[in-house]
Chains A and B, each alone.
Chain A
């Protein structure tokens, strides 16, 4: 069974870049069956899809975040990463990585989530 684990700083200063990595185990990130997605959730609020990457490197982003988001993949390490630039307090959230089944568009496997706080 595929397992995902987020890692990265829990505290980021305003205007800086948030960087997170998701490590995939129990399966190859190069599998053609999945997209690899990032989702976030501010405390007490709903889920917001950030974007996805395919193993070919093609990406899709939430239009509301597109200007600040970069998602990349490192197949040699079985990892994919998120960078969110020019962060503000509004970017404080639990960030999840997830595998998205490419035909059904279901978010099948999720990481446990990591809290990122934007504060000086």
Chain B
């Protein structure tokens, strides 16, 4: 089945700096890659996603890039703010016979210091 590896496990930045979180996946049939933000005690919230026919997608301060050949995708947050502090999860949606399932990375604890 699909395996998603996420790095780093923790990331600490100063307010205004950029933050980058990277994920790799194993199943070349995976075709959808969402990123979730989870604040303490709350449900995961979708912040951006990308499909396998697109290389990059941007939404204000957040961007995601996808390299299908290398099977990795990254989340970029620019001009970080303290409210960006949370746990971020990447995920990959399986194709083929496992269609529809999301497999999650291990998560990254992002701390933005004022």
Q: Do A and B come from one complex?
A: no
Binding site for B on A (CB under 8 A): none
